[in-house]
Amino acid sequence: MADTPHSNNGLQHLRWFAESLMRDAELPDRQVTVMHRDLFRRAGIQWRDGQDLVELLASLDLQQLSGLISQLRDGDDDEEE
């Protein structure tokens, strides 16, 4: 599927939402650290310690972003129990 302005806007919205959820979870929001390890592993995202978080999020496709958001939301549910 080719990227269209509409799909790019949707992906950008998901990136912003994922960043917001990470801030809410009090995860580092500038660089990827070992604190992200389990979250990214469960979402199927490859990462490097010290990697720029914005660049990493920009490289993710729809499936990876959706998986990341699901993992972030599931983490919120776990804390409430």
pLDDT of residue 8: 78
| pLDDT > 90? residue 2 | no
Give the pLDDT confidence of 28-70 residue by residue, as tens digits. 989 999 999 999 999 999 999 999 999 999 999 999 999 999 9
pLDDT of residue 21: 95
* Cα gap 5→12, rounded to integer Å: 10
* Cα gap 37→32, rounded to integer Å: 8
Closest CA to 6 of 70, 69, 62: 62
- Sorted by where each begins, the domain ranges of the chain are 5-80
pLDDT of residue 1: 45
The model's pTM: 0.79
Over its C-alpha atoms, the chain yields an Rg (Å, rounded) of 13
Average pLDDT over residues 11-23: 94
